[in-house]
């Protein structure tokens, strides 16, 4: 599986952006697609994820109520709608995926995902 992230840009605080993660290759039902971000000088952190099979989702506390993850199976694409953006949301955003046990909770650990996209820069000015 190869992932291509896009949709980043420079916006002002309070604005919205929608990121896309397009997957080439087969996405099996037990795959989870996650979004992570890495700000300068900080470790990569979990943002949101969605399980392909049942669209179950999980969010970091810092983005709950502002971000929404969804998927379009016809286009093999996962979206991250980001609303009410804050300067602290500034980071490179990466999408990642892997196959997980259908009974396992959605993982927030970067080490659990083997397939990564190249990242897209999101910059939020105050």
Percentage, residues of the chain above pLDDT 90: 88
Please compute the mean of the pLDDT values over residues 10-27 and round it to a whole number.
Answer: 94
Residue pLDDT, tens place only, 83-115: 999 999 999 999 999 998 888 899 999 999 999
Query: What is the reported pLDDT for 29?
Result: 80
Q: How does the average pLDDT of the chain come out, rounded?
A: 95
Please give the share of the chain, as a percent, with pLDDT higher than 70.
100
> How far is the C-alpha of 88 from the C-alpha of 14, rounded, in Å?
12
pLDDT at 112: 95
* For residue 35, pLDDT beyond 80: yes
Distance CA 107, CA 22 (A): 20
């Amino acid at each position: 599986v190869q992932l291509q992230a896009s949709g980043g840009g420079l916006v002002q605080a309070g604005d919205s952006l929608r990121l896309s993660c397009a997957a080439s290759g087969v996405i099996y039902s037990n795959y989870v697609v996650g979004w992570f971000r890495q700000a300068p000088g900080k470790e990569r952190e979990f943002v949101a994820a969605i399980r392909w099979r049942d669209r179950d989702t999980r969010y970091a506390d810092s983005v709950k109520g502002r971000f929404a993850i969804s998927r379009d199976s016809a286009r093999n694409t996962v979206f991250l709608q980001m609303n009410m953006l804050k300067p602290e949301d500034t980071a490179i955003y990466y999408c990642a995926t892997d196959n997980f046990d259908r009974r396992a909770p959605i993982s927030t650990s970067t080490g659990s995902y083997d397939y990564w996209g190249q990242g897209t820069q999101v910059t939020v000015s105050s």
